A and B are shown apart, each in its own frame.
Chain A
Amino acid sequence: MAKYHVSTSINDEAVEFLCEPQQTLLDVLRDELQLFGSKEGCSSGDCGACSVMLDGRLVCACLVLGVEAEGRAVETIEGMAKGDQLHPLQQSFLEEAALQCGVCTPGILIAAKALLERNPNPTETEVRYWLAGNLCRCTGYDKIVRSVLAVAEEMRGG
């Protein structure tokens, strides 16, 4: 099967890869580029563990084809911290114990960051509905939601 050549940007770096037409962006990230931070929990768009940003939009990487990344910008969990500076959400998740096993965490952090970029002042209900596509089986969401609300306030300078 002929492979496609794709030029894209991942976490602000120009990246080229070869992929088969049926490979998802998640397959490419994990299997071709060895970026294992995005997780596969279902490969059907139901768990959100594979959440990434594509041209500034939150998507499930398992529902996007690798070839669709051509000429676009992908952001993954690997690009969330800047140098050794954790994103405030990452820091807050650590301080508030908003993770147990941590397998949902990369997807939830990406999704939460996307929320705060479009809505810096979400209500608890808005956080809950925004994150409804990201399953967490360990935490009951309590500490996750609190963390996101706390960071929203902090980032607003509150």
Chain B
Amino acid sequence: MATEVKELKWIGKRPIRPDGVDKVTGRAKFGADLTLPGMLVGKVLRSPHAHARIKSIDTTKARALAGVKAVVTSADLPELASEWVPAGELQINFRDLSSNILARQKVFYDGHAVAAVAATSAALAKQALALIEVDYEVLPHVIDVVAAMQPEAPLLHDDLFTEGVTPTPETPSNIAKRVEFARGDLEAGFAQADAVVERDYTTKPVHQGYIEPHAVVASTSEDGQSEVWCSTQGQFSVRFYIAKLLSMEISQIRVTPSEIGGGFGGKTTVYLEPLAVLLSRQTGRPVKMVMTRAEVFRATGPTSGAALSVKIGATKDGTVTAAEATLRYQAGAFPGSPVQPGAMCAFAPYAFETFKVVGYDVVVNRPKVAAYRAPGSPIAAFGVESALDELAKRLEIDPLALREKNAAREGTHAAYGPRYGPIGFVETLQAVREHPHYQAPLGPNQGRGIASGFWFNIGGESCAMLNVAEDGTVVVVSGNPDIGGSRASLAMMAAEVLGIDFERVRIIVGDTSTIGYTFLTGGSRVTFATGMAVVQAAEDVVRQLRERAAKVWEISADAVIWEDGQAHPAGANAGEFEPLSLRDIAAEAGKTGGPICGNASLNAQGAGPGFGTHICDVEVDKETGRVTILRYTAVQDAGRAVHPSYVEGQLQGGAAQGIGWALNEEYVYDEDGRLQNPGFLDYRVPVASDLPMIEAVIVEVPNPNHPYGVRGVGEVPIVPPMAAVANAIENAIGVRMCDLPMSPPRLLAAIDNGG
């Protein structure tokens, strides 16, 4: 690594995170932990129907109830045009977002918001909801993605014409978009193959399952200035979305992110925030809104369920000659599933010459999907990594060897377009091969599966500010909510550049008025992109420190170097001076030019693609269909692990979520399209007794585009588990599971059908 010239003092160590004490003592303030004097409680009325026309809404009785201060419906929101507006790295259709926040002519899913009230107590707000009279004309609905694609399916939007096909269809449908990535002659490729595997797979929508429900407090003053406190992955996104949805100027809104109790992508959009602002504007009082767990399940983003078809062919030696995939992803009520990234990720780990991936974005009567960790990739990987395993078996090749044979390396022309720089996929396969887990003996009804996964990782816009205090301690201001320990990694990078003790660096997450625009915490970007901004801001401080020392010594700044937290004369020619520490220079800053403050703003390019490979051992109880995860190892290229404990934590947490997706989690709807399991009792996320220890193995192939070699790490670990578990089950009992979740009843049925 060219950037690593001397030994690093902090990068790679495991100091205690700066916000840690607050989080183990209950001091940390999350979304629902703020109260303001005179605060009202806001609540949302939600549709009981999967699909219905709203004929009328009568709020008279609700408004008349004593203690009710405001009732709003979509009539209180500005009408917006249907257009895709860039928002950081995302594209948002604000007309749809507005209709999701409060339904306009139609409701599109069970739980769709219809009206909101603000009252002096939660009990009164609930009473008021019951007094709102909505006259619905119930319409036929469609829940399943394949059914929704049929010409005779109930139509959600009569102005939705499939994008990405020429000519554009003349009749509307539920297919919002078609995407395609292809290279080479597919037919010829399959003709060369000695074995071809072709399978259909389905996955169910799963929820991010953050333990903290959505929560917001908004307060609007007489001059129209709004202050918003909420649990979000991106305070700047919230500010922009509110401004758009309520036609406000951005400078009228100040958003302070609370501590965030998990997001996983699900807190990158808005649900309650604009409503709270609207209600506070109408009442002139602060309004607090907190979702119940049932609301979180019914109305906030799960990720897509999908139906996919995968076909892969290879010659006897394991060289894949052609690969094809068709991905059909549920978008929920409005267009915008992650099918495009899914299609891009499907074959990304491999150097296939000939392939074709087609993806469909399909609207159905379910909540609008939201991002969930590596959006789109896990679904595609479930199909591709399962098919590869079957192919290996057919060719009698070790599944690891098959992956090694076809693995993408530096210089591979990625299936989704670019040529890879240095990547660590092969290194993860190598680490799996060398890991004792891979060779460990197995008992009866036990099996082992491996699977790999990919995520782009992203960069994007970030700001950082470093303020040097009079005593030489440093405060870093970042614009990214800290979900998994990023304060620690950012502060470590600042300490590294400044050459001072980690304990002398504090870090805060700024609100939208204290720090410049920073794209949200997501896409595994914070340690990479905001990390780069922190490094640059720290370098800016170092430059100023050298200038100050130069002033004191009356020499040129070029003749001053910064080493081990001190200014030194660059050499004998520069003169003989006692080194000046950060502390010394800070104490005299007033006399040498004023406070020292470093800044950086950038749009980080060159995020390093991330790859991981997991090993999973299961035992199957053939009597009950229950699968026990016996042992699990997650290997991943982190580029450089700044704080290895939190990198391991990402690997372990992502793997656990993937295991839940594989074995238990699913949205269950009844015939009327009503969600049957909107609670943690029936929507079963993995609990401690469901899992073994998850061994995290970090491989480090540095990303040359980051000063310390960082790649993102948060997304990849959720990609491999579903196929790893399915492959392990197949290995254990010879039954190939192509439908998620592989829950006991499903597995039992498959066993009874002889696989």
Contact = CB atoms under 8 A, between A and B. Distances in A.
B24 A100 contact: no
A25 B657 CA distance: 31
Interface in B270-293: 290, 292-293
B20 interface: yes
Nearest to B696: A142
B693 A41 contact: no
B292 A43 contact: yes
B25 A78 contact: yes
A34 to B, nearest CB: 7
A112 B26 CA distance: 15
A139 interface: yes
A149 B484 CA distance: 22
B30 A100 contact: no
Contact of B262 (A46, A90, A106, A138): A138
Interface string A70-110: 00000011101100001000100111110111111110010
A112 B681 CA distance: 21
Contact of B685 (A36, A90, A137): A137
A141 interface: yes
Task: Indicate the member of A44, A99, A106, A131 with the most B CB atoms within 10 Å.
Answer: A99
B680 interface: yes
Nearest to A80: B25
Contact of A97 (B14, B19, B209): B14
A67 interface: no
B81 interface: no
B484 A103 contact: no
B687 A135 contact: yes
Interface string A24-52: 00000011001111111111101101000
A137 B210 contact: yes
Contacts of B209: 137
B645 A96 contact: yes
Contacts of B19: 102
B211 A104 contact: yes
A39 B648 CA distance: 26
A90 B653 contact: no
Given A128-B689, A146-B693, A41 B26 contact: no
Given A94-B17, A131-B688, A143-B652, A77 B211 contact: no
Contacts of B691: 128, 140-142
Nearest to B650: A100
A46 B688 contact: no
Given A94-B21, A146-B693, A100 B212 contact: no
A49 B681 CA distance: 14
Interface residues of B, number: 60
A101 B483 contact: yes
A58 interface: no
B24 A42 contact: no
B649 A138 contact: yes
B211 A103 contact: yes
Nearest to B212: A103
A138 B653 contact: yes
Interface string A43-68: 11011010000000000000000000
A95 B646 CA distance: 11
A128 B648 CA distance: 19
Interface in B22-46: 23-30, 32-33, 35
Contact of B653 (A41, A86, A100, A125): A100
B26 A36 contact: yes
A101 B260 contact: yes
B117 interface: no
Nearest to A136: B211
Nearest to B207: A137
A81 B25 contact: yes
Contact of A38 (B23, B26, B262, B655): B26
Given A81-B25, A103-B30, A140-B656, A95 B16 contact: yes
Given A34-B35, A142-B694, A99 B653 contact: no
A15 interface: no
A127 B692 CA distance: 12
B449 interface: no
Contact of A102 (B259, B292, B656, B657): B259
Given A40-B32, A101-B484, A104-B211, A94 B20 contact: yes
Interface residues on A, range: 35 or more
A97 B485 contact: yes
Interface string B203-245: 0000011111100000000000000000000000000000000
Given A94-B21, A140-B656, A141-B688, A103 B262 contact: yes
Contacts of A38: 26
Interface in B672-687: 679-681, 685-687
B261 interface: yes
Contacts of A124: 693
Given A44-B293, A101-B483, A90 B24 contact: yes
A77 B26 contact: yes
A148 B657 CA distance: 22
Contacts of B28: 102
Contacts of A125: 689
A60 to B, nearest CB: 12
A134 interface: yes
A151 interface: no
Nearest to A37: B26
Interface in B653-675: 653-657
B264 interface: yes
Interface in B296-323: none
A43 B290 CA distance: 12
A152 interface: no
B652 A140 contact: yes
Contacts of A106: 24, 26
B649 A46 contact: no
A103 B21 contact: no
A4 to B, nearest CB: 15
B211 A137 contact: yes
B23 A105 contact: yes
A19 interface: no
Contact of B17 (A40, A97, A134, A137): A97
A64 B293 CA distance: 18
A10 interface: no
Contact of A90 (B25, B213, B292, B646): B25
A45 to B, nearest CB: 8
B245 to A, nearest CB: 27
A41 B293 contact: yes
Ranked nearest first, the 5 interchain pairs of A and B with the lowest CB-CB distance are: A37-B26, A103-B261, A140-B656, A102-B23, A97-B645
6 contacts: A34-B35, A94-B20, A100-B650, A131-B687, A141-B691, A143-B645
Interface of B: 14, 16-17, 19-21, 23-30, 32-33, 35, 208-213, 259-264, 290, 292-293, 483-485, 643, 645-646, 648-650, 652-657, 679-681, 685-691, 693-694, 696
Given A97-B648, A142-B693, 12 more contacts: A39-B30, A39-B32, A100-B262, A100-B653, A102-B23, A103-B212, A131-B689, A133-B687, A136-B688, A139-B649, A140-B694, A142-B691
